[in-house]
Amino acid sequence: MNLIVKDDKLQKYRDHIQVNAALSVKDKELYDRFFFAFTQLLDGLSERKVVELLMNCPAPIGKLSQSQAYNTVNGAQEIFGVLNFSNSKKMAQRYIYATRLEEMAAKVEELAHTLVNKTIKTYYDEDGYPVVLADATAEKEATLMYEKASNMLMKAGKIKGLTEKDKFENPNKYKVAPNVIFTDDMSALELLREIEDTEFENVARDGAETEEGTTETDSTES
């Protein structure tokens, strides 16, 4: 019997979100469509309303058939997770704000890189080897710009909850409690031992045995 494993066609979009994996032009267009559906769901629209919106809004986001629109809505929820709409508008604003911060950080990094590149000059040492140097002032300014970009990314990560520590469940919480039996009848314990192959702790006092022991002690002393 052959095991058939279907590729997850939506994983590339999750990779794009998590590690900024590159998308083709066509995939980027589809991603924008998924993200549009996602933001509409976060804004409180029902799945049916989002489907209608995708069918009627302009291309390339819209002008979809009903089946395409439903597939887009389902795909959006699979990419971004099953949604909790109790605080939908706030969630949407947080995600959009974080995305904007990431875009701003990328722009600042690009400007810093361009700033340094414009001041780069090539010199030749005494042996004729090329030496590439950039203006010290430009490098210092670019360093500050990179720090600002890093702070933006940290803020975006905090907004998305990426800086929060993972919560681990205490494994002892799921351990099965040991069997604790209170009885004076030792034969019941022997029967239980035959039925259950598990450890148990006898914390009961055997009254008969105690009485016998006391009797023997008393007789010995007398």
Terminal-residue alpha carbon distance, the chain? 83
Q: Which two tokens stand for residue 124?
A: 């030749």
Average pLDDT, the chain: 75
Residue 45 lies in a domain: yes
**Residues 94, 77 share a domain:** no
Average pLDDT on 94-104 reads 79
Per-residue confidence at 6, pLDDT binned at 50, 70, 90? very low
**Residues 48, 75 share a domain:** yes
Residue 218 lies in a domain: no
Per-residue confidence at 216, pLDDT binned at 50, 70, 90? very low
Of 70-74, 155-159, 171-175, the range with the highest mean pLDDT is 70-74
Can you tell me whether residue 176 is helix, strand or coil?
A: coil
> DSSP label at 86?
G
Please give the residue range of the domain that contains residue 194: 176-207
pLDDT score at 159: 78
Q: Write the CB contacts of 10 (distance below 8 Å, at least 6 apart in sequence).
A: 75, 78, 79
How many CA atoms lie within 13 Å of 6's alpha carbon, on the beta-carbon side? 3
**Residues 109, 144 share a domain:** yes
Q: Write the CB contacts of 209 (distance below 8 Å, at least 6 apart in sequence).
A: none
Q: Which residue has the higher pLDDT, 109 or 221?
A: 109
Average pLDDT on 153-169 reads 74
Whether the pLDDT of residue 202 is over 60: the answer is no
Residue 3 lies in a domain: no
The DSSP code sequence of 28-55 is HHHHHHHHHHHHHHHTT--HHHHHHHHH
Q: How many domains does the chain have?
A: 3
Per-residue confidence at 16, pLDDT binned at 50, 70, 90? confident
- Total H helices, total E strands in the chain: 8, 4
Let me know the angle formed at the C-alpha of 141 by 140 and 144, rounded to the nearest 5 degrees. 95
Q: Which residue has the higher pLDDT, 139 or 93?
A: 139
Residue 216 lies in a domain: no
